[in-house]
């Protein structure tokens, strides 16, 4: 027989068998409760229920989303409805409970937290009119669950079944309750009657106060056998009816009010009969007798165990009665608690006094009552009162002595001791009441690893807003409601966290201070002080008491004066000295406050007009918002507050704009009146990664679900706008409000660029209409054309499938076919059956998935059951790479989307035109090889194979064409910038703007969501500066900081090539940003594109003179190789009135003497390293210069290497990373010319037909080193000399303080992956800005994306150190692995990214740090790098261990790079995920710790132990890899 292992399963199963609808309350939709897993399982298996005709409906609801609201709808429509939850929701659901009590609703509540729950969750709601049942073991849980359902059906009243799940943890598995028993006990006939009734006419909202009545099951038919006892309840008067009316229990009156009406009740039609407590007793008895007769298990309202003649007993309302009983049983003669009984309530409400007196042996003279109730508001506990009332009023008993105890947490080992204490007190002459037993606060903190883990893994998320408040107002901050900062806002914490509670205490506090101010005023006028000083200071203070800034400044002065005065007047004031400070007072709460605004404390606060600040943290993740019941009453608090008209309101999101949060909090604090800040912190589970939170936030903000704004109703008095929109979109309701308020029109007038967004409506309807329009437009175009129709649909990631489709369409048209071509997702799926000929062309994305613009189409085709393609012919061409997945089990990913859709269309009845064609990137012509065979077959099958007179096709436009036609890089950029209808620029211009230092990107986190909303991608631009050698002045730093804040996404990236990069600059802000950069005497020209890029230079803090000279060479080379076009100046540096705003020189002209009109075949990179530091990775660039120091200590010249480069295409063996080859030595004065000549030979010999083969490394390898070098020397007219000796030691930075030869100081700080941003924990950006405002030093950006604060004179040292400390920038105490790690940007902005990098590497390092620590490797530097794609921006191929993105979440792993960047690594594993990465890395690090030779580097070690072969140079990069490709 099937067995039940745990109480969650036992209860879930009975609930499932006994309900139509189950509301499963969970911490979040993705986190299971102890019941939900089983409920889901049953539903997935379509298990049958005994009550529901079909499969019960399971509704999953978050616990902080007012879950009981979900009950009204099903209850009203006659559904038997059950809730599974933990007890934490009960108190805040009291208003619902009152209403639901009169319906047969069952709530199974697992007491929270298990193991040491607070039973006040139950005692606090004891009067809501529900029946309460308690179970204490696994078997009881199953039986009481069944009792609860049967009781609800038979009584028509709500039942709450509660238990502490920890009580039954050690219980043996039990047998399933048989379906037969469940059927009989439930009384399904009665259930059917209930189901057939609709309570539409008795609205739940208006029924409050109506007496609870049995409104079902009273007809003759329903009273049918088999159960005589039920008969009685179902129609006849129960034996207890008479006596119940005169019951002495006060609680009984609560639950049986109106019991006397029962006497006149005869049938349901004439008069429904109220349910009395005796009815409940009667029904329970009958249910339990049924259970007993079939199983032998006995139950009664109070469960007594122990000797029948016990003189003392324990009444327990708390956890683990089993443990107490066992202790009693094993008591010895010596124990105080020998021969005692234990009694626990099974039926807690109604409280049946008679049953208690029956259960308790008459011999009991002393009774200890233990209550595990922590939140107690009364002196006597609720259970003690119940017991007292019962036993004192009972005439049949000689009242025993009753002593109450409060039960805390008892360790297993201390239970004997605790019981001794309890009974010693009980048996004493005059026992003490209200003793506390055990630990009040629960198990000792820090004791369980679960708690520890929780605290370790989550503080970041939970604390963000509290930390900002703390940061802004520090000691002035006062949070009025009882929240711990740890969980502020994320979890609702019950009564004390409610706004009412906090508001009351705040008002009291304010009044208290007002009184104090009056006292001070009075004191200032008296002569009660011994010195003169206090009076003057007190009057001054009293005048400013309400001005926080002034009052707080004066407070310490006043306190000091009073302290030395010594008079009694002074001492009196000093007793309340805290009140000299004016606090920043806040109420902090969660979105749970949003459910019943009209009645909530928020309403009180707003209506009061008091100067109180509220911070409300909303944690509903964007992707779960739709799952919320539309009928819910969750209100927009911001809107509600704005409608009040007197409140400052702001909506912010810390993971979207940190600055805006700060601003809003400061404005709220300064506002004289109520303020409400709605703060977003989407939160799914305790272990949510910050990345998940970031992505949820972005979606919510970007799509207008959570707009960022600030509203100050008094701003207009000051001539400012009341409403400030800080994000781009707002939702409809807010839009309506603004429109009503006439603000909308003003806003639109002022910001016409928002117009389209503001007045747009959202949703899938838009998308539908768009699809329809696009298709209709096509059809109109095709009208009039002859020939067969052919619809070509593509799904394309990088453009190949799209280009192929468009070309196919052109060719089809030329053959007389009516062709239509569009992305799969743009095609209305319902039209597919009407198409005659459909050709699908799809690429393969990720792990065999559809590219983004075909995913919805595929989902539709895959899941549709009614697409009939009997009249449709189709074929498919698929593009993929047969070697992308080396492992056998992954081979099926090859061209999977194409193969899948081909099979599916066939299954839907489609006829194939021709067989599927497969394009393979491994073929000689890549996918073109397969396509070349497939296309002619298609034309033949369509009957247009031999058509004469087909016009010649224009050749495809290449990058070379774009450059040549661009008029020296102008293209149509200017026009594109003017076009406000789109955030994008044209494809051709996208190539050209790279030469100007900017790329168009789109936010990839938002792609899917925006598409679903019918919006274009969230386009923005990346801007890269040109900063030779990475040296910036403090002023330049401040200017860059301001640009990122005002025009970008508030962050800056310090790149691997030592420059500033801005992200998230929208098109309209591109020009101002470029002008700002120019004003800072920097430029962006040639920062990207097919030109020489930024020239790098070692940072060398310890030798400043040599650095200065080398840096000068870097600048000279950079300037020498700049393009000459005036287009840059023309496009970016003229203002709207065509006035010249260029600051940094004007010496450019339209002639490119060096580059010519087509510039270089590919990008060109130069770097300088100064031995022994290879911190710029000198081997990885087109030209690597190794600085050679002369004997005089000055720069002499350079060893020049050429042909290094990183970019690779996965699996394309023709591409490889390469290290630079040595050309020889060049004097410092000639080096720029030598560089120029190398560039020119590359210009003329580089492969312009294939961009993947166009870098200098291939040109040199193809031509041969000697030939290439010979051509350079010939062009130059000079020869390279023999290289000079040099020696490198590492390619990482040296962190901390260093002194140079001039005595100036330099501090290298750790900037993780180069990202400069503020967070609540680490206000790094602010700190650097503040330092830049005061320092006389300079900022040096390193090639490892870190930062050096340079040239600090010794007299400024202390102050600088203090500032670094203040902003936590002085911390370099990280693991050496972290300090040596580096990642590129990748998601969300880089269009080429296949996997996360910058956002993920820090997490991966964290996961390895424990292992480093264990193996004593914390201080060992291992160079680890990660990039999101094989373009290799963070130079992964030179790292000792590297991860390069292959698909989302999957990386190729490389091992064996040289520690100082001299040797390439080699592929170790392909497409591995985090789990496998850790599986490989952890044992490997352990081995390294144990087996390495002295001083042996990790990269050398893995080669020595044979894990990987050494790569000698780029051309053997693909040979002897560790992973052999497996055959299918
Ligand atoms: S390596 Fe690839 S993913 Fe990373 S920033 Fe460069 S191009 Fe983007």
Check if 1432 has its Cβ closer than 6 Å to any atom of ligand 1: yes
Max avg pLDDT among 392-406, 765-779, 823-837 = 823-837
CA distance 74 to 80: 8
* Closest among 289, 294, 147, 297 to 229, alpha carbons compared: 289
SS3 413: helix
Q: Which mutation among 1382, 1428, 1439, 1450 tests ligand 1's pocket best, with the greatest number of atoms within 8 A of CB?
A: 1428
CA of 1209 to the centre of ligand 1 (A): 12
CA of 1444 to the centre of ligand 1 (A): 9
* Closest among 1113, 1239, 1223 to 1168, alpha carbons compared: 1113
pLDDT tens string 539-554: 889 888 888 878 888 8
pLDDT at 262: 30
Between 412 and 838, residue with greater pLDDT:
838
Shortest-distance Cα residue to atom 2 of ligand 1: 1429
52 among known catalytic residues: no
79 among known catalytic residues: no
pLDDT tens string 642-680: 877 789 999 999 888 877 888 899 899 989 899 999 999
Q: What is the mean pLDDT of residues 1291-1309?
A: 94
pLDDT tens string 984-997: 998 889 999 999 99
pLDDT at 378: 55
Check if 1386 has its Cβ closer than 6 Å to any atom of ligand 1: yes
pLDDT tens string 949-993: 777 777 777 888 888 888 888 888 988 888 877 889 988 899 999
Quick check: 104 pLDDT over 50? yes
Backbone φ/ψ region at 1471: left (φ over 0), alpha (ψ -120 to 50), beta = left
Check if 1429 has its Cβ closer than 6 Å to any atom of ligand 1: yes
CA distance 142 to 138: 6
Check if 1433 has its Cβ closer than 6 Å to any atom of ligand 1: yes
Starting at the edge strand that comes first in sequence, how are the strands of the sheet with 57-62 ordered? 57-62, 21-26, 81-86, 106-110, 159-163, 131-135, 347-349
Task: Respond yes or no on whether the N-terminal peptide bond of residue 1214 is cis (omega within 30° of 0).
Answer: no
Quick check: 223 pLDDT over 60? no
CA distance 621 to 689: 13
CA distance 24 to 36: 6
Q: What is the mean pLDDT of residues 121-146?
A: 91
Backbone φ/ψ region at 708: left (φ over 0), alpha (ψ -120 to 50), beta = beta
Quick check: 1201 pLDDT over 70? yes
Quick check: 253 pLDDT over 60? no
- The answer to whether 1380 touches 1423, Cβ cutoff 8 Å, is yes
pLDDT at 636: 81
Q: What is the mean pLDDT of residues 836-862?
A: 91
Between 1274 and 483, residue with greater pLDDT:
1274
Quick check: 1183 pLDDT over 70? yes
CA distance 901 to 829: 14
Q: Which mutation among 1002, 1391, 1392 tests ligand 1's pocket best, with the greatest number of atoms within 8 A of CB?
A: 1392
Quick check: 258 pLDDT over 60? no
pLDDT at 1140: 53
pLDDT at 459: 31
Check if 67 has its Cβ closer than 6 Å to any atom of ligand 1: no
Say which of 818, 1390, 1399, 1435 is annotated catalytic: 1390
Check if 1401 has its Cβ closer than 6 Å to any atom of ligand 1: no
CA distance 250 to 561: 61
Say which of 1384, 1411, 1463, 1497 is annotated catalytic: 1384
pLDDT at 1009: 74
Q: What is the DSSP letter of 1281?
A: B
- The answer to whether 1075 touches 1133, Cβ cutoff 8 Å, is yes
Quick check: 261 pLDDT over 60? no
End-to-end distance of the chain based on CA atoms, in angstroms?
45
CA of 1428 to the centre of ligand 1 (A): 5
Ligand 1 nearest-atom number relative to CA 1434 = 1
Ligand 1 nearest-atom number relative to CA 1385 = 5
Lowest-confidence pick of 459-463, 565-569, 699-703, 1159-1163: 459-463
1165 among known catalytic residues: yes
For the chain, how many helices (H) and strands (E)? 51, 50
Q: Which mutation among 1093, 1315, 1429, 1451 tests ligand 1's pocket best, with the greatest number of atoms within 8 A of CB?
A: 1429
Both tokens of 945, joined, read 């194979």
Max avg pLDDT among 486-495, 658-667, 702-711, 1236-1245 = 1236-1245
Q: Is 210 exposed, middle or buried (0-12, 13-18, 19+ CB in 10 A)?
A: exposed
Quick check: 300 pLDDT over 60? yes
1429 among known catalytic residues: yes
pLDDT at 654: 84
Between 473 and 973, residue with greater pLDDT:
973
H or E stretch at 421: helix 415-427
Q: What is the pTM of this model?
A: 0.65
Check if 1397 has its Cβ closer than 6 Å to any atom of ligand 1: yes
- The answer to whether 1129 touches 1148, Cβ cutoff 8 Å, is yes
Check if 1388 has its Cβ closer than 6 Å to any atom of ligand 1: no
The number of beta carbons lying within 10 Å of the beta carbon of residue 1355 is 8
Backbone angles phi, psi at 1420, to 5 degrees: -90, 120
Between 1429 and 1135, residue with greater pLDDT:
1429
Residue-averaged pLDDT of the chain: 83
CA of 1081 to the centre of ligand 1 (A): 28
Quick check: 1 pLDDT over 90? no
1390 among known catalytic residues: yes
CA distance 53 to 121: 34
Q: What is the mean pLDDT of residues 210-237?
A: 33
Shortest-distance Cα residue to atom 6 of ligand 1: 1433
1057 among known catalytic residues: no
Q: Write down the H helix ranges in 203-351.
A: 228-234, 241-244, 250-255, 277-295, 321-329
pLDDT at 1515: 95
CA distance 492 to 89: 9
Check if 1313 has its Cβ closer than 6 Å to any atom of ligand 1: no
pLDDT at 395: 58
pLDDT at 600: 66
Quick check: 1215 pLDDT over 70? yes
Check if 1431 has its Cβ closer than 6 Å to any atom of ligand 1: yes
pLDDT at 1039: 96
pLDDT tens string 1021-1065: 999 999 999 999 999 999 999 999 999 989 999 999 999 999 999
Task: Respond yes or no on whether the N-terminal peptide bond of residue 350 is cis (omega within 30° of 0).
Answer: yes
- The answer to whether 849 touches 1394, Cβ cutoff 8 Å, is no
CA of 1092 to the centre of ligand 1 (A): 19
Q: What is the mean pLDDT of residues 183-199?
A: 81
Quick check: 238 pLDDT over 90? no
Q: What is the mean pLDDT of residues 309-315?
A: 94
pLDDT at 1526: 62
Quick check: 684 pLDDT over 70? no
Quick check: 556 pLDDT over 70? yes
CA of 1507 to the centre of ligand 1 (A): 28
CA angle centred on 600, ends 594 and 601, rounded to 5°: 110
- The answer to whether 312 touches 368, Cβ cutoff 8 Å, is yes
CA distance 1473 to 1450: 5
CA of 1390 to the centre of ligand 1 (A): 6
Q: Which mutation among 1386, 1394, 1395, 1426 tests ligand 1's pocket best, with the greatest number of atoms within 8 A of CB?
A: 1386
Assign 688 a pLDDT band (cuts: 50, 70, 90).
Answer: low
- CA-based radius of gyration for the chain: 39
pLDDT tens string 358-368: 999 999 999 99
Contacts of 866 (CB under 8 A, 6+ apart): none
Check if 1395 has its Cβ closer than 6 Å to any atom of ligand 1: no
pLDDT at 981: 76
pLDDT at 631: 47
Q: Where are the beta strands (DSSP E) in 63-147?
A: 81-86, 106-110, 131-135
Quick check: 412 pLDDT over 80? no
pLDDT at 847: 82
Backbone angles phi, psi at 1092, to 5 degrees: -75, 130
pLDDT at 444: 59
Between 1238 and 194, residue with greater pLDDT:
1238
Quick check: 117 pLDDT over 80? yes
Q: Which mutation among 1313, 1393, 1395 tests ligand 1's pocket best, with the greatest number of atoms within 8 A of CB?
A: 1393
pLDDT at 232: 32
Q: Is 196 exposed, middle or buried (0-12, 13-18, 19+ CB in 10 A)?
A: exposed
Max avg pLDDT among 189-198, 1208-1217, 1252-1261 = 1252-1261
CA of 1343 to the centre of ligand 1 (A): 16
Assign 751 a pLDDT band (cuts: 50, 70, 90).
Answer: very low
Max avg pLDDT among 81-95, 204-218, 1361-1375 = 1361-1375
């Amino acid at each position: 027989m099937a067995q039940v292992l745990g109480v969650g399963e036992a209860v879930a199963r009975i609930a499932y068998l006994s309900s139509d609808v189950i509301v499963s309350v969970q911490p979040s939709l993705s986190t299971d409760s102890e019941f939900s897993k089983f409920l889901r399982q049953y539903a997935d298996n379509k298990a049958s229920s005994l009550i529901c005709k079909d499969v019960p409906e399971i509704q999953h609801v978050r616990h902080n989303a007012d879950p009981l609201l979900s009950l009204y709808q099903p209850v009203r429509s006659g559904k038997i409805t059950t809730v599974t939850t933990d007890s934490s929701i009960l108190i805040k659901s009291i208003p619902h409970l009152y209403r639901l009590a009169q319906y047969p609703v069952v709530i199974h509540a697992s007491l929270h937290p298990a193991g040491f729950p607070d039973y006040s969750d139950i005692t606090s709601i004891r009067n809501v009119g529900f029946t309460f049942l308690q179970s204490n073991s696994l078997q009881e849980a199953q039986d009481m669950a069944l009792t609860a359902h049967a009781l609800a059906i038979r009584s028509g009243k709500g039942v709450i079944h509660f238990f502490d799940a920890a009580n039954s943890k050690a219980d043996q598995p039990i047998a399933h309750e048989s379906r037969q028993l469940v059927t009989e006990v439930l009384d399904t006939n009665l259930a059917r009657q209930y189901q057939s009734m609709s309570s539409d006419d008795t609205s739940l909202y208006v029924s409050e106060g109506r007496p609870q009545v049995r409104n079902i099951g009273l007809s003759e038919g329903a009273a049918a056998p088999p159960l005589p006892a039920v008969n009685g309840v179902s129609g006849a008067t129960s034996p207890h009816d008479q006596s119940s009316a005169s019951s002495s229990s006060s609680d009984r009156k609560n639950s049986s009010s109106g019991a006397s009406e029962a006497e006149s009740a005869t049938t349901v039609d004439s008069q429904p009969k109220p349910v009395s407590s005796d009815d409940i007793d009667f029904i329970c008895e009958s249910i339990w007798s049924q259970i007993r007769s079939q199983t032998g298990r006995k139950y009664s309202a109070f469960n007594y165990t122990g000797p029948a003649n016990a003189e003392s007993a324990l009444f327990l309302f708390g956890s683990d009665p089993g443990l107490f009983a066992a202790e009693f049983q094993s008591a010895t003669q010596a124990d105080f608690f020998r021969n005692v009984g234990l009694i626990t309530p099974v039926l807690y409400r109604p409280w049946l006094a008679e049953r208690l007196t029956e259960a308790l042996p008459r011999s009991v003279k002393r009774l200890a009552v233990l209550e595990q109730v922590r939140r107690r508001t009364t002196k006597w506990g609720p259970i003690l009162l119940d017991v007292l009332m019962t036993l004192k009023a009972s005439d049949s008993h000689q009242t025993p002595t009753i002593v109450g105890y409060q039960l805390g947490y008892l360790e297993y080992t201390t239970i004997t001791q605790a019981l001794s204490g309890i009974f010693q007190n009980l048996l004493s002459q005059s026992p003490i009441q209200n003793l506390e037993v055990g630990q009040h606060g629960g198990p000792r903190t820090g004791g369980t690893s679960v708690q520890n883990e929780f605290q370790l893994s989550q503080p970041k998320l939970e604390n963000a807003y509290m930390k900002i408040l703390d940061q802004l107002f520090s000691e002035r901050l006062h949070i009025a409601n009882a929240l711990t900062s740890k969980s502020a806002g994320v979890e609702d914490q019950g009564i004390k966290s409610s706004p009412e509670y906090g508001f009351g205490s705040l008002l009291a506090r304010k009044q208290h201070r007002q009184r104090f101010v009056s006292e001070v005023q009075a004191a200032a006028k008296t002569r009660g002080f011994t010195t003169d000083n206090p009076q003057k200071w007190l009057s001054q203070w009293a005048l400013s008491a309400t001005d926080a800034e002034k009052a707080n400044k004066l407070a310490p002065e006043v306190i000091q004066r009073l302290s030395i005065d010594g008079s009694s007047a002074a001492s009196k004031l000093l007793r309340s000295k805290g009140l000299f400070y004016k606090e920043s007072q806040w109420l902090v709460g969660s979105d749970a406050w949003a459910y019943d605004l009209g009645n909530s404390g928020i309403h009180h606060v707003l209506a009061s007009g008091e100067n109180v600040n509220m911070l409300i943290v909303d944690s509903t993740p964007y992707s779960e918002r739709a799952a919320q019941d539309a009928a819910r009453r969750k209100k927009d608090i911001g809107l509600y507050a704005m409608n009040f008209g007197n409140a400052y309101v702001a909506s912010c999101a810390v993971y979207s704009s940190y600055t805006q949060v700060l601003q809003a909090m400061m404005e709220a604090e300064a506002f004289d009146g109520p303020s409400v800040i709605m703060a977003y912190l989407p939160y799914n589970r305790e272990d949510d990664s910050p990345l998940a939170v970031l992505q949820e936030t972005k979606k919510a903000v970007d799509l207008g679900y959570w707009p960022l704004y600030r509203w100050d109703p008094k701003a207009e008095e000051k001539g400012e706008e009341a409403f400030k929109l800080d994000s781009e979109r707002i939702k409809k309701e807010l839009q309506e409000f603004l429109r009503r308020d006439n603000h909308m029109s003003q806003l639109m007038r002022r910001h016409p660029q928002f117009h389209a967004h503001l007045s747009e409506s959202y949703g899938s309807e838009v998308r539908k209409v768009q699809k329809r329009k696009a298709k209709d437009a096509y059809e109109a175009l095709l009208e009039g054309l002859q020939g067969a129709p052919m619809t070509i649909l593509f799904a394309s990631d990088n453009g190949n499938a799209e280009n192929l489709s468009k070309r196919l369409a052109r060719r089809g048209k030329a053959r007389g076919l009516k062709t239509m071509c569009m992305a799969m997702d743009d095609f209305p799926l319902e039209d597919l059956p009407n198409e005659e000929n459909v050709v699908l062309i799809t690429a393969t994305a990720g792990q065999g998935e559809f590219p983004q613009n075909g995913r919805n189409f595929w989902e539709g085709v895959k899941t549709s059951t009614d697409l009939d393609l009997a009249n449709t012919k189709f074929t498919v061409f698929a593009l993929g790479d047969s070697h992308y997945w080396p492992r056998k089990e992954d081979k099926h990913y090859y061209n999977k989307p194409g193969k899948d859709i081909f099979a599916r269309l066939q299954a839907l009845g489609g006829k194939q035109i021709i067989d599927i064609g497969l394009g393979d990137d491994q073929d000689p012509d890549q996918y073109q090889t397969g396509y070349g065979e497939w296309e002619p077959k298609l034309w033949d099958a369509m009957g247009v194979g031999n058509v004469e007179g087909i016009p010649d096709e224009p050749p495809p436009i290449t990058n070379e064409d774009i450059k040549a036609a661009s008029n020296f890089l102008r293209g149509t950029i200017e026009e594109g910038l003017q076009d406000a209808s789109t955030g994008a620029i044209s494809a051709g211009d996208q190539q050209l703007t790279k030469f100007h230092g900017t790329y168009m990107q789109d936010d990839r986190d938002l792609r899917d969501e925006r598409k679903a909303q019918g919006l274009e991608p969230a386009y923005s631009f990346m801007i890269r500066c040109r900063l030779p050698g990475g040296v910036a002045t403090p002023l330049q730093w401040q200017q860059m900081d301001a640009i990122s804040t005002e025009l970008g996404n508030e962050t800056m990236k310090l790149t691997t090539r030592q420059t500033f990069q801005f992200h998230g600059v929208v098109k309209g802000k591109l020009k101002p940003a470029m002008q700002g950069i120019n004003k800072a005497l920097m430029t962006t020209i040639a920062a990207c594109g097919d030109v020489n890029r930024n020239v790098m230079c070692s940072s060398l803090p310890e030798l400043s003179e040599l650095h200065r000279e080398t840096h000068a060479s870097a600048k000279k080379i950079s300037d020498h190789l700049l393009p000459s076009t005036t287009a840059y100046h023309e496009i970016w540096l003229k203002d709207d009135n065509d006035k010249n705003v260029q600051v940094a020189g004007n010496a450019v002209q339209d002639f490119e003497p060096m580059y010519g009109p087509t510039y270089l075949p590919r990008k060109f990179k130069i770097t300088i390293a100064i031995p022994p530091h290879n911190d710029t990775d000198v081997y990885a660039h087109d030209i690597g210069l190794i600085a050679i120091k002369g004997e005089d200590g000055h720069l002499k010249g350079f060893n020049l290497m050429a042909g290094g480069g990183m970019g690779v295409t996965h699996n394309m063996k023709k591409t490889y990373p390469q290290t630079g080859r040595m050309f020889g030595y060049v004097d410092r004065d000639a080096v720029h010319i030598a560089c120029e000549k190398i560039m020119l030979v590359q210009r003329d010999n580089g492969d312009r037909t294939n961009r993947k083969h166009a870098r200098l490394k291939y040109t040199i390898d193809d031509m041969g080193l000697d030939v290439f070098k010979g051509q350079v020397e010939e062009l130059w007219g000079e020869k390279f000399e023999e290289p000079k000796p040099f020696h490198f030691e590492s390619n990482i930075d040296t962190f901390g303080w260093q002194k140079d030869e001039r005595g100036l100081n330099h501090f290298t700080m750790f900037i993780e992956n180069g990202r400069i941003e503020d967070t609540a924990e680490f206000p790094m950006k602010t700190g650097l800005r503040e330092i830049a405002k005061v320092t006389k030093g300079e900022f040096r950006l390193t090639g490892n994306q870190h930062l050096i604060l340079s040239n600090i004179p010794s007299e400024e040292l202390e102050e600088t150190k203090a500032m670094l400390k203040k902003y936590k920038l002085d911390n370099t105490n990280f693991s050496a692995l972290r300090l040596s790690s580096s990642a590129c940007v990748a998601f969300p902005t880089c269009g080429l990214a296949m996997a996360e990098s910058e956002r993920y590497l820090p997490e991966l390092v964290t996961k390895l740090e424990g292992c480093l620590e264990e193996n004593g490797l914390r201080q060992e530097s291992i160079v680890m790098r990660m990039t999101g794609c094989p373009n290799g921006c963070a130079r992964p191929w030179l790292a000792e261990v590297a991860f390069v993105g292959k698909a989302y979440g999957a990386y190729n792993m490389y091992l064996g790079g040289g520690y100082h960047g001299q040797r390439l690594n080699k592929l170790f594993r392909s497409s591995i995920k985090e789990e496998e990465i850790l599986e490989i890395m952890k044992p490997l690090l352990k081995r390294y710790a144990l087996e390495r030779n002295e001083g042996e580097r990790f990269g050398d070690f893995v080669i020595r132990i044979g894990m990987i072969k050494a790569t000698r140079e780029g051309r053997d990069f693909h040979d002897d890899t560790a992973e052999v490709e497996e055959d299918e």
